[in-house]
Amino acid sequence: MTFFSLLAALLLEHFRPLGHPLPHYQAFWRYAQYIERQLNTGQYQHGVLAWLVAVLPVLITVGVVYFLLGAASPLLAWAWSALVVYVTLGFKYFSKISARIARALEAGDLDTARNALAEWRGLDASMLNADDIARLATERTLESAHRQMFGVIVCFVLLSPLGPVGAVLYRLASILGRKWGSAGSAGQFGEFAARVYYWINWIPARLTALSFAVAGDFEDAMYCWRTQAQDWPDASEGIVLASGAGALGVRLGLAISAAGGRLQRPELGLGDSADAQYLGSAVSLSWRVLGLWLLTLLLITLAKLAG
């Protein structure tokens, strides 16, 4: 059931990707912003309460609907799982942006590439040169593959007895971890959201990094994981990016142009400097990993059916 729900969701996401901005994400974020306005006093315990109020009603609703539909018909429960996982994915959208940036870089159209990257990252890209854009877009592609696809899949599979609850938990924890857990949150309010996402993401980040290594240059990926990941500001993100850069044979991180001069960042990866071609390579690596995961899940499913 888990494999077929996931396969249906991935096929839907591939052929009918959701538009951006996603209305259900916007609705959840407006709800989370309202909760933050009511409860954010800069204290840790209020951050805990806000996270629970934001996440638990959604998880309970998704779980209750799954079990009610399952009691009526297993086919309805399967369809509900596929639909919910479908709306938690979003890598197809980001792979399109990655391809758009690559085409712009190949054509020498830096303005289009900067605008697309700024839209994607939500940050100013007006000072970036072509090398900066290629590196940041490749990093964003690897990060999006993990956040928008692999992390969701891992949590969905691990919590499959609860239907699609795991996929929703990962997505909501990711959103709140980035928003409330950022430096912009007042006081200690966002610490709980950041910690929860770190622990929920602990296994998915390492499985993604290991899969990048298996699907790419294994030796370089593992070397970069061991020696470079800890230098990245976000530990889990550093593992994914270091392994992905090593698997691709490209150097990421490094200094980028900013308003105040060159912004120094740790180096990730080995080999060539990033360019437009590596954006396509990053997307291809992600699809190879997805194929590997689907094959593994299919074999596990067939073994269970045979048993």
pLDDT, position 305: 85
Q: Which residues contact residue 297 at a Cβ distance below 8 angstroms, ignoring those fewer than 6 apart?
A: 2, 3, 6, 157
CA–CA distance, 70 with 21 (Å, rounded to integer): 31
CA–CA distance, 286 with 270 (Å, rounded to integer): 19
- Cα 195 → chain centroid: 17
Instruction: Give the lowest-confidence range in 32-46, 57-71, 258-272, 287-301.
Output: 258-272
Among 244, 242, 235, which Cα is nearest to 212's?
244
CA–CA distance, 300 with 307 (Å, rounded to integer): 10
CA–CA distance, 249 with 228 (Å, rounded to integer): 14
pLDDT, position 73: 94
pLDDT at 161 over 70: yes
Q: Can you tell me the mean pLDDT for 255-273?
A: 86
Among 24, 20, 54, 23, which Cα is nearest to 177's?
54
Q: Please name the amino acid found at residue 10.
A: L
- Cα 246 → chain centroid: 19
Q: Can you tell me the mean pLDDT for 101-119?
A: 92
148: tokens are: 């928008």
Percent of the chain at pLDDT > 90 equals 73
Residue-range definition of the domain harbouring residue 82: 2-306
For residue 57, cis peptide bond before it (omega within 30 degrees of 0): no
Q: Could you tell me if 99 and 283 are in contact, meaning their C-beta atoms sit under 8 angstroms apart?
A: yes
Within 187-255, strands assigned E span 250-253
Q: What is the mean pLDDT of the chain?
A: 91
Q: Can you tell me the mean pLDDT for 121-132?
A: 86
CA–CA distance, 214 with 206 (Å, rounded to integer): 12
pLDDT, position 55: 97
Q: Could you tell me if 270 and 220 are in contact, meaning their C-beta atoms sit under 8 angstroms apart?
A: yes
CA–CA distance, 274 with 253 (Å, rounded to integer): 10
Q: Which residues contact residue 272 at a Cβ distance below 8 angstroms, ignoring those fewer than 6 apart?
A: 249, 250, 251, 278
Confidence of residue 185 (pLDDT cuts 50, 70, 90): low
pLDDT, position 187: 65
pLDDT, position 121: 83
Question: Which residue's entry shows tokens 């990033």?
Answer: 274
Q: Can you tell me the mean pLDDT for 134-160?
A: 95
Percent of the chain at pLDDT > 70 equals 97
Give SS3 for 22: coil
CA–CA distance, 284 with 95 (Å, rounded to integer): 10
The residue with greater pLDDT, 202 or 255, is: 202
Please state, in angstroms and as integers, the Cα–Cα distance from residue 56 to each residue in 59, 152, 217, following that order.
5, 17, 41
Q: Can you tell me the mean pLDDT for 18-30?
A: 80
pLDDT, position 14: 85
Strand partners, 258: 261
Number of domains in the chain: 1
pLDDT, position 184: 52
pLDDT, position 183: 52
